[in-house]
Every structure is written in structure tokens, then in C-alpha cells.
């Protein structure tokens, strides 16, 4: 979603800001802009604001190559209030043109503030955004002290913000504040950086501080001073930004999504490394910091997440019940947080998130914590808000996932939850032999994935190509599965919607006959996920039901299951694995369907329309 970068230092700021914005592109946005504090011929300073609709590349073209100025802020906007236009792009300036503001989040009381500023202060608004009120409010309270002006402006605002403000009167200064939308400051040599995502800073500094909610920071080239919005001083120890595991460059791949699909054997190995313990048949997740006695005392497990992370949670909940006999459920975080859930002290919640910044998931965590529940994170981005809010948890170690459509994070999340289920299982119901067999099967997956991808991912003929041909010509596609494969079906449908914009629906296979089967006609492709598990025969009966109505069946089955394959127009075999582990393999063809269908339809694969990588608004 929206991204923020800022720089104050000795160097020309514009190239650094543009580079930072490029590194935030993966988050999803629709316009970009920057505000530079540039020297005037008269020896003073002025603000130079440049904004463009579209990609950062458009902004790069518009910024003069030798644009002066050693301080400035840059922004990528993902539209919430107001259409995608240059006028609505950030930065927004006050009516004197000497104060510029960039803002992530939502100002909830913007309508009343706007009315007040228009009626009482005679302000003429130039955009439809909620954010513009901030520029005018800062102006209203500005009497020469930038920090106090921003502090006073934020005192009358309700909502969420990561906000950064520059003043033409103060050439070496940025004021920034956070409330519900992340910000990080980074220290260089005679220079200081600001960003909404540490990924933007990785090329420049590793010494960083994460701002907490309701903090405000005065940033100069010498460093920063942080205080609470209520005026109390704050001191944070500088943290070391972890080295990113895996690369955030595309390399020889045409798209990040394809690269990330191919990275899965490696990212999965990283996730499993040292965590499965063959000697005991168990597993070790140090980040959970739970003794066997504490594991036994847990009465219920809730897994919270959104989108792909929720789908991983569905697999995790099934695994927890089956391996640990622990009552478990997965729930969409945005629903959980507002249903006034009943929580008891012996409940444990796992919050699953790739970005670690998803506002809905964060809200659900806070709700669980408010009610006395324990929440631990299953997160990819190290140091992210969710990881820090949970305090305890595990990282899934996928490495940077840049494509908006999640692929390698899904398989690592599933793997981390399977490892957790094994760990909990050994303390509860699972014997060493069963644990050892499950662990061995899990450790074999990266190798099986690699062989499958080698054989299928780049091939120009074969069942993946045939399936994609059926999908791209479809008006509507059905995904079916049962048990953990129902979660895989949901993930496959989500991918095809996001990347190829093909209308589709996923359903637990048996439930389909209770209504949605009415949608099936002679042209409808049905993707059925039918591994050779205890549900196989039942799901094949459901496949027969759609075949009887003329559906064109694409069937994902276990290698060697020729009987299942015969029911399909296109059959795709994936390696054998124990039932709970099958999602790690059966999702691979579905990821490729989305990628290849998106490619065939000319979609923007890595940055699908309307989507953001990190969804930081509710």
C-alpha cells in the first residue's frame, strides 16, 4: 500500500528518494510523488513538489536529473479517498506552498476537519483526499516550531497515520509521526533516512529504530529525537536491520512471481532448517518459547490471518487437530476482531502474516490481547509490526516476497504451522514413530518440489499448458477440494482472481451440490484437488457430479493415481506425501495456472490492478 521515504543528509536527495520509492513499488500503489527542499537563487529555500499518476518510472522521468536539495520526502499512494489523479497524489502542500505532507493511513474525521478549515480558515482544497487536511492543519498551528505544529495538528486528528512533513523554512529537517502505520528511521554517516518499510533502507543503512504508535520524531542529518505525542521523551535502542535472506532482485526471471514460485524449494528448506528433530520425532520452534507442560495446558488454538495467510491457517488448524488433538480453528482476522470473541486464558492464538503489517490482522491480535489471550506470530518480515506486537513467535524465512500474489510465503507459512503441529503433537498425543515419519516426510518436500518444478514449470507443452488454455477462455472457473485441499482450492482461486482477473470460486467439494452446482454448464472448467488421502474417493464422486453436467475437469492428483487421472480432461500429477503435507505440493500447479493465465491475458503479473502487497488499512 502507500509507501513513505525521507532523506536528510549531505547527498543529493532526489536519486535516493526515487531509489527508495522503487524498492517500495512491490507494495502496490497507483501514483507517486516527492517534495524536495531546494535552494533558491536568493539564498533561501522553496519546496519543489513533483507528482505523477502511474509507476515510479513516470515520476523518474518528471524529476530533473540535477534537481538540487539535500532533504525531501517521497510517497507512493494507493488510493482510498479520491480517484487516482495527480491532484490526489502525495505530497500535499498547504496554501502557502511551504509545507508538504505525505501520509499513509486514514484520517477518520477528515470531513469535519475539512469543513472547519474551509469555513473558518478559508482554505481552498486542491484534492479529494483525507490526507490534505494534514497540510492545512500543520500550517494552522505553525508559528515557527515545526515539531510543535505537527504535534498540535495530530492532536485534533483521529485515525491512523504514518506521516512525514517538510518545511521550506527548515532545509535540514523532517518531522514524522506514527499511529497505526509503520515508520522506521535509519542512521547513516552524516545522513538520516526515513521509511515506512525497512526494505527501502536496506541499501543504505542497517542501523534502525522502529517508531511506536503515537510517537513523533524530529529528523536531522545528525540523527533523530523521538518523543510521545503527549510530549514525554522516548529513547529507543538502535536495532540492527537483519540481512535479507534471499534476494529481492528479479535475476533472469521475467517476473518476481515466477522467481518466487521457483524459490520455494529453497525457502521451504530455510523454514524447516533445524526445526524438525528426527531423533525425537518432534520439532523445535524456539520463538514460541513454550514448555511441554505449557503446550499441554493449551485448551484451544485460534489461527488468525487474511487472504493467503488465512488459507495457510486453515491447513494449520486441521494439522493441529489431527497431530496434536488440540481443538483448533482458523478465522479471517477482520471478522474475528469485530465479533466480540470469547477468549480464555488457556487459549493460544497464532497470527499469520507475510508482511507483518496487515491492519486487519493487527486489529485481531490487539482484540485477542485485550481479552487476555496469548498471541504469537507466524510472520515473514523480520521486525514488522505484527512480529513486534506479538513479542513471541516464529519467522517463516521465505525471504523478501515482492510479487503481490503470495506464493513462497504460503508454502513457508504452511510448513511453519505443520512444524508447530508436530511440536505440539509430540507433547500431547503423537508417538515418536508417527512423529518421525511425519518429520521425514516434511523434510523430503523441498526435494520433491524442486523435481516437480524442474519438470513442469517452464515446459511449453503438457498438462499445465493445456489447463491454462481452458482457464483463459473461461467465463468462470470452479475450484474444488476437501479437508486441507479445500484450503488449497481457496488459495488457487484467489491466485487466479488476483493475477489473471478470471472470475472464479472455490468450494468444499461436497458442499457444491447444495447450490453452486447450478453455475456449472458445459463450458465450465472445474479444478479439482484430489490427493490420494482419506477423502479421495468422496472427492472423486463430486468430480463425477460435475462431469455429468458437462464440466471440463482439471484434476490435481497424486503421482501414479491413474484411476483419478482418467476422470479428467487435463490431469496433473504431483508427488506423493502424507495427507496434511499435500498442500505444499498440490498448490504448485495452481500458482502456475495463475502466473501463466495472467501472462496469456497480458496482466501486470507482479502488480495486479487495485491490489497492494501490504494492506495497512482496514
Which residues sit at the interface with ligand AGP, rule CB under 6 A? 306-309, 353-355, 358, 361, 404-406, 498, 614-615
- C-alpha cell at position 218: 524530529
Shortest Å distance, C-beta 404 to ligand AGP: 5
Q: b or e along 374-407 (b: 16 or more beta carbons within 10 Å of the residue's beta carbon)?
A: bbbbbbbbbbbbbbbbbeebbbbbbbbbbbbbbb
Judged by CB, which is closer to ligand AGP: 2, or 166?
A: 2
Judged by CB, which is closer to ligand AGP: 113, or 477?
A: 477
Judged by CB, which is closer to ligand AGP: 405, or 579?
A: 405
Q: How far is Cα 550 from Cα 525, in angstroms, rounded to an integer?
A: 9
Q: Is there a contact between 11 and 20 (Cβ–Cβ < 8 Å)?
A: no
3 state SS of 347: strand
Helices 432-456, 264-272: crossing angle, 10 deg rounding? 160
Q: Is there a contact between 355 and 309 (Cβ–Cβ < 8 Å)?
A: no
Shortest Å distance, C-beta 199 to ligand AGP: 13
Shortest Å distance, C-beta 225 to ligand AGP: 31
Judged by CB, which is closer to ligand AGP: 127, or 358?
A: 358
Q: Is there a contact between 262 and 453 (Cβ–Cβ < 8 Å)?
A: yes
Judged by CB, which is closer to ligand AGP: 276, or 306?
A: 306
Residue nearest to ligand AGP (CB): 307
Q: Is there a contact between 1 and 103 (Cβ–Cβ < 8 Å)?
A: no
Q: How far is Cα 482 from Cα 492, in angstroms, rounded to an integer?
A: 13
Q: How far is Cα 127 from Cα 124, in angstroms, rounded to an integer?
A: 9
Judged by CB, which is closer to ligand AGP: 59, or 257?
A: 257
Shortest Å distance, C-beta 328 to ligand AGP: 19
Query: Other CB atoms closer than 10 Å to residue 125's CB: what's the count?
Result: 16
Q: How far is Cα 175 from Cα 224, in angstroms, rounded to an integer?
A: 10
Strands 276-277 and 347-353: unpaired
Judged by CB, which is closer to ligand AGP: 217, or 351?
A: 351
Shortest Å distance, C-beta 356 to ligand AGP: 7
Residue-wise DSSP of 365-392:
HHHHHHTT-EEEEEESSTT-HHHHHH-S
How far CA 72 is from CA of 49, 52, 183, 199, 325, in Å, comes to 10, 17, 16, 19, 55
504 is catalytic: no
Shortest Å distance, C-beta 90 to ligand AGP: 22
Q: Is there a contact between 95 and 121 (Cβ–Cβ < 8 Å)?
A: no
- C-alpha cell at position 506: 472455490
Judged by CB, which is closer to ligand AGP: 160, or 353?
A: 353
2 is catalytic: yes
Shortest Å distance, C-beta 309 to ligand AGP: 4
What kind and span of H or E run contains 468? helix 463-472
One of 259, 495, 497, 613 is an active-site residue; which one? 613
- C-alpha cell at position 149: 505544529
Shortest Å distance, C-beta 217 to ligand AGP: 25
Q: How far is Cα 284 from Cα 275, in angstroms, rounded to an integer?
A: 5
Shortest Å distance, C-beta 490 to ligand AGP: 10
Judged by CB, which is closer to ligand AGP: 355, or 582?
A: 355
Judged by CB, which is closer to ligand AGP: 498, or 561?
A: 498
One of 2, 271, 306, 390 is an active-site residue; which one? 2
Q: Is there a contact between 225 and 231 (Cβ–Cβ < 8 Å)?
A: no
Q: Which residues contact 364 (CB under 8 A, 6 or more apart)?
A: 304, 331, 333, 334, 336, 337, 351
Q: How far is Cα 558 from Cα 533, in angstroms, rounded to an integer?
A: 9
Q: 3-class secondary structure for 535-551? A: CHHHHHHHHHHHHCCCC
Q: Which residues are catalytic?
A: 2, 613
Amino acid at each position: 500500500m502507500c509507501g513513505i521515504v525521507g532523506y536528510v543528509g549531505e547527498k543529493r536527495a532526489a536519486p535516493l528518494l526515487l531509489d527508495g520509492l522503487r524498492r517500495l513499488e512491490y507494495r502496490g500503489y497507483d501514483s507517486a510523488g516527492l517534495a524536495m527542499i531546494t535552494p533558491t537563487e536568493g539564498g533561501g529555500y522553496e519546496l519543489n513538489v513533483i507528482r505523477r499518476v502511474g509507476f515510479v518510472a513516470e515520476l523518474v522521468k518528471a524529476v530533473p536529473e540535477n534537481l538540487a536539495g539535500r532533504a525531501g520526502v517521497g510517497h507512493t499512494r494507493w488510493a482510498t479517498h479520491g480517484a487516482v489523479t495527480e491532484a490526489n497524489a502525495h505530497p500535499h502542500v498547504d496554501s502557502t506552498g511551504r509545507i508538504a505532507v505525505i501520509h499513509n493511513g486514514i484520517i477518520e474525521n477528515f470531513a469535519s476537519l475539512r469543513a472547519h478549515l474551509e469555513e473558518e480558515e478559508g482554505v481552498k482544497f486542491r484534492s479529494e483526499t483525507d490526507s490534505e487536511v494534514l497540510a492545512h492543519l500543520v500550517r494552522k498551528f505553525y508559528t515557527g516550531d515545526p515539531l510543535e505544529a505537527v504535534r498540535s495538528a495530530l492532536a485534533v486528528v483521529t485515525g491512523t497515520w504514518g506521516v512525514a512533513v517538510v518545511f521550506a523554512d527548515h532545509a535540514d529537517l523532517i518531522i514524522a509521526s506514527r499511529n497505526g502505520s509503520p515508520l522506521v528511521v535509519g542512521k547513516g554517516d552524516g545522513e538520516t533516512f526515513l521509511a515506512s518499510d525497512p526494505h527501502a533502507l536496506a541499501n543504505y543503512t542497517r542501523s534502525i529504530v522502529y517508531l511506536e504508535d503515537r510517537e513523533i520524531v524530529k529528523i536531522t542529518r545528525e540523527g533523530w529525537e523521538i518523543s510521545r505525542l503527549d510530549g514525554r521523551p522516548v529513547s529507543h535502542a538502535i536495532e540492527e536491520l537483519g540481512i535479507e535472506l534471499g534476494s529481492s532482485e528479479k535475476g533472469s526471471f521475467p517476473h518476481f512471481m515466477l522467481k518466487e514460485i521457483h524459490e520455494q524449494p529453497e525457502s521451504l528448506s530455510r523454514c524447516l532448517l533445524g526445526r524438525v528433530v528426527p531423533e525425537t520425532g518432534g520439532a523445535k520452534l524456539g520463538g514460541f518459547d513454550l514448555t511441554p507442560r505449557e503446550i499441554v495446558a493449551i485448551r484451544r488454538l485460534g489461527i488468525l490471518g487474511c487472504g493467503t495467510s488465512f488459507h495457510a491457517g486453515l491447513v494449520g488448524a486441521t494439522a493441529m487437530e489431527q497431530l496434536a488433538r488440540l481443538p483448533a480453528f482458523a478465522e479471517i482476522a477482520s471478522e474475528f476482531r469485530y465479533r466480540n470473541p470469547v477468549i480464555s486464558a488457556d487459549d493460544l492464538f497464532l497470527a499469520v502474516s507475510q508482511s507483518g503489517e496487515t491492519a486487519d490482522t493487527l486489529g485481531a491480535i490487539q482484540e485477542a490481547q485485550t481479552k487476555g489471550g496469548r498471541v504469537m506470530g507466524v510472520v515473514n518480515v523480520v521486525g514488522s509490526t505484527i512480529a513486534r506486537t506479538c513479542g513471541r513467535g516464529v519467522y517463516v524465512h521465505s525471504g523478501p516476497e515482492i510479487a503481490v500474489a503470495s506464493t513462497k510465503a504460503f508454502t513457508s507459512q504452511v510448513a511453519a504451522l505443520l512444524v508447530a503441529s508436530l511440536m505440539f503433537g509430540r507433547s500431547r498425543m503423537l508417538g515418536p514413530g508417527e512423529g518421525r515419519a511425519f518429520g521425514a516426510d516434511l523434510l523430503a518436500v523441498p526435494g520433491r518440489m524442486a523435481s516437480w518444478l524442474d519438470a513442469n514449470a517452464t515446459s511449453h507443452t503438457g498438462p499445465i499448458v493445456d489447463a491454462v488454455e481452458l482457464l483463459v477462455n473461461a467465463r468462470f472457473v470452479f475450484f474444488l477440494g476437501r479437508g486441507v485441499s479445500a484450503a488449497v482450492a481457496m488459495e488457487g482461486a484467489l491466485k487466479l482472481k488476483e493475477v489473471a482477473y478470471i472470475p472464479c470460486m472455490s468450494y468444499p467439494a461436497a458442499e457444491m451440490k447444495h447450490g453452486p452446482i447450478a453455475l456449472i454448464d458445459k463450458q465450465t472448467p472445474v479444478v479439482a484437488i484430489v490427493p490420494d488421502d482419506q477423502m479421495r474417493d468422496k472427492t472423486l464422486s463430486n468430480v463425477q457430479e460435475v462431469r455429468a453436467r458437462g464440466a471440463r475437469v482439471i484434476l490435481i492428483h497424486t503421482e501414479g493415481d491413474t484411476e483419478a487421472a482418467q476422470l479428467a480432461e487435463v490431469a496433473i500429477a504431483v508427488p506423493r506425501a502424507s495427507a496434511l503435507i499435500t498442500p505444499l505440493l498440490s498448490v504448485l500447479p495452481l500458482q502456475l495456472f495463475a502466473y501463466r493465465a495472467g501472462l496469456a491475458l497480458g496482466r501486470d503479473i507482479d502488480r495486479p490492478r487495485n491490489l497492494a502487497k501490504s494492506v495497512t488499512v482496514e
